[in-house]
Each structure stands twice: as C-alpha cells, then as structure tokens.
Amino acid sequence: MEFLRDTADRYGKARGYSAFCEANLRRVKALEMASKAGGVGEREAAAYASTAYGEALEALQNSVADYETLRAKRDAAQMTIEVWRSQNSARKAGI
C-alpha cells in the first residue's frame, strides 16, 4: 500500500508527460513540414526524417516506457493487496 501511495504523484506525472510527448510529436512534425518547401508528401517525408522529429519520437518512447513500467509495478502491488485480502478473508471464514 505504501508503494501505491508513494508513487501516485510520479504515476500521474509520468502519464502527463507521456501525453505531452504525444502532442509534441505532432507539433514537431507540423513545424518541420511548415519549414520545408515542396509538395505535402515531400514535406512530410522531410519532417519524419528530421533530427527534431527523431528526438521527439525518442522522448515519446522513453516516456511511454517509464509510464508503462511504473503502471506494471503498481498493478503488481495492487494484485498483492488483493491476494492478501483474499487470504485473510478465507482465514476468517475458516477455509
């Protein structure tokens, strides 16, 4: 229970940062496309190939990995609590 309590703030921040990175990826693509000349396909390809887009994509990957790792640890802690509850309930019932 302490782990869940102690990581609640970090969990929220990790989810928020992940959402920010998703939006920032779209923003970087738009900025890169706006700064290029040519047709839409050419500008999009150039945006995807840009260093800024690659950095934004890496930030998104890292933020999702951090969030999902923390979420999995919190889920495991929650399952541990549920197992403990079940065992104690069964013990009280004499099972």
**pTM for this prediction:** 0.79
User: Given pLDDT bands bounded at 50, 70 and 90, which one contains residue 1?
Assistant: confident
CA–CA separation, 38 vs 19, rounded Å?
31
In a domain, 58, yes or no: yes
Looking at every residue in the chain, the average pLDDT score rounds to 94
- Which of 51, 56, 49, 50 has the alpha carbon at shortest distance from 27? 56
pLDDT at residue 2 in the model? 87
Q: How far apart are CA 74 and CA 51, in angstroms?
A: 35
pLDDT, tens digit, for every residue of 15-32?
999 999 999 999 999 999
95 part of a folded domain: no
Helix, strand, or coil (residue 95): coil
Residue 63 lies in a domain: yes
Residue 33 placed within a domain: yes
What residue type is 89 in one-letter code?
A: S
Q: Which structural domain, as residue segments, surrounds residue 11?
A: 2-90
Q: Kindly tell me the number of DSSP H helices and DSSP E strands found in the chain.
A: 3, 0
Q: What is the pLDDT of residues 38-92, one digit of tens each?
A: 999 999 999 999 999 999 999 999 999 999 999 999 999 999 999 988 988 888 8
How many domains does one find in the chain? Answer: 1
